Amino acid sequence: MVDYYEVLGVSRSASTEEIKRAYRRLARQLHPDVNGGDRAAEERFKLVTEAYDVLSDPEKRRAYDRTGSASAAGSPFGQDPFASPFGPDFSDLFQTVFGGFGASQSSPRRGEDVETEVHLTFEEAVFGTQKEIALRMPATCQTCQGTGAKPGTQPRVCGQCQGTGAVRRITQSFLGRMVTTTTCDVCRGEGTVIAEPCPDCRGEGRRTEQRRFVVDVPPGADNGLVLKLSGKGAAAPRGGQPGTLYVHVVVEPSDRFVREGNDLYTTVHISAPQAVLGARVELETLDGTEVLEIPPGTQPGWSTRIRGRGVPALTGRRGRGDLVVEIAVDVPTELTEEEEELWRRLAQLRGDEVAEHHEQSLLSKLRSAFK
C-alpha cells in the first residue's frame, strides 16, 4: 500500500501549505518535459500528483488517514462502492486469473498536467484581469490530426491482441487451467499499430511547440491561488484526453497598501499642527482620490475605517473588504529661528517645560556661512 505522505516527503501532521510546497518541488523535478521522456520519472510524477490530489483535499485526506486507502479517499461513503468485498488486492488477482471476462484493456492515454506561474500587479489581483501566457508543451500534431499515422493512412487494429491492448495466455497447473492477461507487446496496450507513421510527429500524434493561453484571473486573487484549466495541459499521445494546466498566481507587493484577507491597510502622514487643529487631506485609494477628515486633537496611531474600499471577496459573494487608514504625526526636526520662537511661546502659554535654547556651535556657524 502506497504511503502518500512518504511519496511527498512530508509528515502526517503537515499543513496544506507544506503539502503544496512539497508537490510543487517534486513536480518540477519529475515533469516529463524536464526528464526527456524518462518512463520512471513519468510514473513517479503520476504518483506524486495522485498523492497531492488526495492530501490537498481535506475530505479525501481525512478518509485516507482513517482507512489508509486511496479508493476510500475518493468515495463520499468512505469506501469505493464498486470495490471487491474481498479486499483491494482481490480484484487484481481476479483480473489476472480470469482476464477480466474478455473486456477491452486498451484506453487512450491522458496527457500530462502542466504547471506555470502568472505574475500580477497588486491592482490586477484586486480587480481581476486577463493575462496571456506562453508555454512550450506537447500539442496535437496538425499534420496527422493526432492519429500518429501518415496523412492518407489510418492506424490499424493490432493483429496480436485484436484491439484489446492485452494478450490472454492459458496455462495448465495443478489448480487446473489458468488464464493470465498481460499488456500486448506489439501495440504496447494501444490496441492499434501504425504501419506508416506521420513524418512530423513520428507516430506520436503530438509535437512540442509554443502554445498561448488567455487566463481569466478573478477579482480578489492573492498569492497561493491556483487556477485550474482543464484540457489545457499537454496533448495526449494519439487521441487521448489532454492534461490540466495549473496556473499559480504570484502578486507583486504594493508600496502603499498592506493586505490582510479582504482588508487593506495604509498610513497617512500629517503634520503636528494638522493633528492639533484638524484638517482635510487627500487620500489615494484603489478607486481614486478621496478626502479624509482629520478631527482636531488626533493622536499618533489613530485609525479610521473606510467601508467597501478593500478587496472583493474571491468566493463570488458580493461586497468588498474595508480600507483601514492609520495616522502618523510627523514632528519637525529642523526649525527656523522664527519657528522655534513660536513653539517656545506656545510651550510657555501651555505651561510646558522644554529644553533651553542652545546657541549654534562655531562649526555650525562656519558651515552656515559657506552655504
pLDDT beyond 90 at 40: no
All three cell numbers of 203, joined, read 507516430
Helix (H) or strand (E) holding 44: helix 39-55
Average pLDDT estimate for 339-367: 77
Give residue-wise pLDDT tens across range 119-160: 999 999 999 999 999 999 999 999 999 999 999 999 899 888
* The predicted structure's pLDDT at residue 267: 95
23 vs 49: CA distance, rounded Å = 7
270 vs 281: CA distance, rounded Å = 8
* The predicted structure's pLDDT at residue 34: 62
Most confident of 152-166, 287-301, 314-328: 287-301
pLDDT beyond 80 at 85: no
210 vs 33: CA distance, rounded Å = 13
Displacement of CA 279 from its chain's centroid (Å): 45
352: buried, middle or exposed (CB in 10 Å: 19+, 13-18, 0-12)? Answer: exposed
More confident residue, 280 or 27: 280
**CATH class of segment(s) 258-365:** mainly beta
Among candidate residues 257, 106, 244, the one with its CA nearest the CA of residue 181: 106
For CATH 1.10.287.110, the residue range(s) in the chain are 1-83
All three cell numbers of 118, joined, read 502568472
Find where cell 477579482 sits. Answer: 219
312 vs 356: CA distance, rounded Å = 54
The answer to whether the predicted template modeling score (pTM) of the entire model surpasses 0.85 is no
Find where cell 520519472 sits. Answer: 41
Torsion of CA 240, 110, 67, 225, to 10 degrees: -120
* The predicted structure's pLDDT at residue 62: 86
For CATH 2.60.260.20, the residue range(s) in the chain are 258-365
1-83, what's its fold?
A: Helix Hairpins (1.10.287)
- Do β-strands 114-120 and 245-251 pair in parallel, antiparallel, or remain unpaired? parallel
pLDDT beyond 80 at 35: no
* The predicted structure's pLDDT at residue 76: 41
